[in-house]
Structure formats: C-alpha cells, structure tokens
Structure 1
Amino acid sequence: MSWRPYIKGFKAYLLLERSLADNTIEAYQRDLYKLDEFLQLREYKLGPAEIGTTQLSEFIFWLNELGLGARTQARVLSAIKTFFKYLLTEDIIVDDPTELLDGPRLSRKIPEVMSYDEIQAMLHSIDLSTDHGVRNRAMLETLYACGLRVSELTDLRLSNLFLDIGFIKVIGKGDKERIVPIGEEAAKHINLYIEGVRRRMTNIHKDFENYLFLNRRGKSLSRVMVFMIVKECAEAAGIQKNVSPHTFRHSFATHLIEGGADLKAVQDMLGHESIITTEIYTHLDTDYLRETVMQFHPRSRKRG
C-alpha cells in the first residue's frame, strides 16, 4: 500500500496550516517517502491506520544501522510525529502510534557526520607536492566516494579497480564481495597516485604487489596508519569533531540519503546485509547504483 497520497496531503497541510519553510517541508517529505520505501522493502502491507509503534521503531533503528547521524535521525522522528498528528487531526487515524515512539537505544555512540564543506576542507588540506600526500588524497577521496570501511580500503586491490567504467569491487565482512560505484573525482586521484607514485616504487614486497595503497616500505597500510592520516588531515583543516575513517562512511550514507537517494541502493553500496535478514539484495543493478551516486553524491553531481 502506497503512502504517497497521504504524504502529498501532509505537504499541503505543512504549507497552508503550519507555514513551514520550503526546505523543512521538503525534508519532511523525503523522510516520509523513506518510511514508505522501508515498508515496501519489509513487505509490510500497512496503511497509516494499521501501522504500529513496533514498525516505526524498526524504521528508526534501521536508519541508525544504515549510518545516519543522530541529528538526521531526530529530524526523521520529528517528521513522523508531525505526520501522525496531522493524520489524527484529519480523522484518518484514531490512535497515534508515535506517542510512545523513541529514538533507537544505541549500544554504541554514533560517529560524527561531517558536512560537505568539512569534507572539502580536509581534502584540500593535503599537500599534493609529496608522494604520501598524493596517496592520502586518493585514500580519503575513496573513503568518501564509496563509503568503505577502513579494512576495505586497506585491502583494496589493483585487480578490483574498474575505473574506466566507474566501479570498484570491495571485499567486505565475511569475505563477501560487492560492487560499488566510484565518482570521477576519486577515480582521478587514484589514477594520479598509481601513475605518479605507485608505479615509481621499487621496493614493493612480493605479497603486496596487488594492493592499491602502500606504505613507504612497499607493504599495505595498517588500519592504525589510516586512522592517524585521517586525524592529521582533520587537524590541518581545523575540524573540531572527533573524525575517524568511519566518519567518512557515515557522511557518505547521510549525504546520499539526505540528498534523496534510495535506501536500498545506499544499503547495497554499504554492504549492510544484516539490516534485513532475508537476502533480497543479492543481484545488484550496477547501472542503478552508479546513477544513484552520480545524482546524489556531493562530489559527483554538478554544483552550481
């Protein structure tokens, strides 16, 4: 059952009755369309009168697992509560399922999410006149462009790069492979690193010849080294937040979803199979994933 007619009515209500700003109304609409997507993905055939607190709590918790920051989750919760108060006012529902709805009880702290300007500041803080600077810029561009875990970045192989067609193959948790689109900016910096730095290295160890990112001794980078590089770049850019490689992953997901990207596509790209127990995302539509990144990722879409 589609919620779209109710969401359209809600938009008119916000505009005429509440006089909210256009940006707020659009954000609330996007949040509710995400709820509609979620219900369809879970195959919940529930309308506004049938849905309960349990399903709404699952949705909020799902957004947390997907990597959205606390502020975004709070806005989604606000949108849902306002929507159901509207339905109650219009006599579309009898009981409000959001009365007892809380945000997810998190077992771990959600990492910070950086703004696009903060990401830009970190990237531009890197000195590209040095070999390690060229490598570090390529690494951070890749983290943000693809939403990789730090272990997936350090394990990235040359043979798994398909930059000419805009994809990389990632080996995730449990050695499960997934295909992730990569934008032109990140691909450009990877090529600059490969051609300008990596091909000139003469001390590459035999066991590491296929690894993309190498340290000065010709071996793959450690997770700790990547953490240190990210911390140094954040400090150089004057970022006060507690930034880690995982912050780029959360920022990737948040920026795509807040820009309007489809939840299923973002989940596929992040490799979050645990969100829905049934394996319904086995066959990926790579053209669709690439179009999602090109349309919604801040470093892929054309900016005015």
Structure 2
Amino acid sequence: MGMNSELELFTRYLQIEKHASSHTIENYQKDIKQLLHFMTEHGLERYSAVTYTFVRQYLTYLHKQGYAKKSIARKLSSLRTLYEFLLREKYVEENAFALAASPKTGSHLPDFLYEEELKPLFTSIDTSTPLGQRNLALLEILYATGIRVTECVTLSVRDLDPALATLYVQGKGRKERYVPVGGFAVEAVLNYMNESRPRLLDKAKNETEALFLNYRGGPLTDRGVRLILKKLVDDAALSSRMSPHVIRHTFATHLLNEGADLRAVQELLGHSHLSSTQIYTHVTKEHLKNVYTSAHPRA
C-alpha cells in the first residue's frame, strides 16, 4: 500500500472516529502532503522510513522556510496524530514524531474588538437586500453566541428556537450544546428566514436546510463567512483585523469584562478544558489595568 492510500485511510479515520470538521481535515492533509513532498525530495518512499533524525531535519527545514513557531507546533501535532494512527494500524513500528518537542510559542493574547469598534459593523449593513439581511443575521449570531465558523455554517433552519431564545450547536467531535441567543440576534435571524432566505433559496438547484445561504442559494462555506466579514469591515471603513475567531474572542472577552463566570463562558464556547478559556482572563486583566491607569488620579 502506498503513502497516498494510507493518507486516505487516515482521512477516513478523522472523519469517522474523530468526527473532525472539513476545515480540520483540510489542515491535516496540507501538513501531511508537505511532509510527503519533503520525504520524496530525500528519497523516502515509506512512512516507516522516517526516523527521529529525519524529523529533526524536517523541523529545521520548516524553521528556515520562515514558518512561525505556532505553525510548526501545529504541523508537528498533525504528524504526531498521523503516526499514532499508522502505529495503531501497524504500518510503522514507531512514532518518529512522538519524541520531537514542540517549539515554545509563548502566550499570545487573542485579538478582540471593543464595543465602539463593533457598533459600526452592525449599523453599516444595508438590510434592504436579501444578502444584507443575511449578513446582519450572520453577524448577530456570531457575536451573540461566540460559535465557531464551522459550527455556524452547519446550522440548520431548525436549530434556532425563537420561543426559548436558544440555539442548538454541534461542536468539535460532534459534541452538542444549547446556547442562549439575544433578542437582537433572534429578530435578525427571523427577519432573514422569513423574508430573504426564501428568495435566496429560489436560486438554488437543490433544496437545503442550511440556515445561512450564499448568493446562489447554496450553503454558506467557512471561506464565504470570512469574505463576508472582510467586506463588512471594508464597508464600515474600519482598520480592525476581522475574522470569525476575532468575533468569538470578542464575545468571550465582553462577557468576562461584564463579570460573567469563567465556567459559564467555557460552557458557552464549547471548550472541553477550562485552560482553553482562561486565556481570556489575561485579556480582561489587561482591560482592567488600562481602566485603572486612565481613571485613577494617582495611577
């Protein structure tokens, strides 16, 4: 069996056993194909031919190519997982990546938007068009719930309960959770569903229950959401860095700034571990420090 065949088996493992999203699988495949290219250049034709020395050589190559420590750490994690699978299936006799230490990435505080930066995004949207109504509903949902972009694009028209103001979300590893939705978001989504979504759906070749649709009436993709947010920033004449994850960071930071419990924010974000949520406490501490410095007469 060739290396590409084993990669296909690993991809099915990610889909079926790990319930990985298409975005996650795409990143795994990119990381692995980059390794395969490097292996081919060095005359290695089997996964089992990779040694710890070769792994060190590959990491040095990535460093020289200018990859950030965080990117190298992610690639290393992908390859460790691949080799754990290959070891389990007896395609290799050892995990050559298991002993390789990940580069220390340091603590990078997440980007987020202040409330005054966020308001122009909402007010600049022209809701007289179907796409404008969709964009407002999309932005409201992302900010009201803090859901991941992959969770957002898999939402169904049945997932919002307007009466209870809750949203059913299927997260990483198909973990399910219900999150509360604010009144602004509920209103925006209902307006979109009642008025604009049917008009977009008329353009579709196939029926779909996806909540958010593109201009052709098909389900919106991760990339589509990112492009929409970029356009909203441009239309609002903002210089802020924008992505679905920035809105997720903003959601968490605003909640904690207003005194929300860390455990509650963990549940809302769908984090398995509290440590994933604790990074936002560093952001809020920095916020408090700035407030103190600007407000205290003897700061």
Question: What's the TM-score once normalised by structure 2's chain length?
Answer: 0.54
Sort the Cα spacing of 1:106 and 1:182 in 2 relative to 1 into closer, same or farther, 3 A.
farther
Q: For 2:204 and 2:107, how far apart are their aligned partners in 1?
A: 39
2:67 — aligned with what? none
SS of 1:203 mapped into structure 2: coil
Shift of 1:161: 1.1
Q: Percent identity?
A: 39
Return the structure number with greater relative CO, CA threshold 8 A, min gap 6: 1
Shift of 1:116: 1.1
| Uncovered stretches (5+) of structure 2, i.e. residues with no partner | 1-103, 277-299
Q: For 2:116 and 2:150, how far apart are their aligned partners in 1?
A: 26
Shift of 1:240: 1.4
2:210 — aligned with what? 211
2:268 — aligned with what? 269
Q: For 1:276 and 1:139, how far apart are their aligned partners in 2?
A: 28
Asked whether the 8 Å contact 1:169–1:177 carries over to 2, the reply is: yes
| Uncovered stretches (5+) of structure 1, i.e. residues with no partner | 1-104, 278-304
AA matched with 1:203:
K
Shift of 1:130: 1.2
2:202 — aligned with what? 202
Asked whether the 8 Å contact 1:112–1:241 carries over to 2, the reply is: no
Q: For 1:220 and 1:175, how far apart are their aligned partners in 2?
A: 19
Q: For 2:108 and 2:225, how far apart are their aligned partners in 1?
A: 21
Q: For 2:111 and 2:157, how far apart are their aligned partners in 1?
A: 31
- Please show how residues 242-257 of structure 1 align to structure 2 within 5 Å: 242-257=241-256
Shift of 1:159: 1.5
- Please show how residues 46-195 of structure 1 align to structure 2 within 5 Å: 106=105, 109-195=108-194
AA matched with 2:136:
R
SS of 1:159 mapped into structure 2: coil
AA matched with 2:266:
Q
Shift of 1:216: 2.0
2:222 — aligned with what? 223
Question: What's the TM-score once normalised by structure 1's chain length?
Answer: 0.54
Asked whether the 8 Å contact 2:153–2:219 carries over to 1, the reply is: yes
The higher radius of gyration belongs to: 2
How well do the aligned residues superpose, as a CA RMSD in angstroms?
1.9
SS of 1:164 mapped into structure 2: coil
Q: For 1:117 and 1:243, how far apart are their aligned partners in 2?
A: 14
1:82 — aligned with what? none
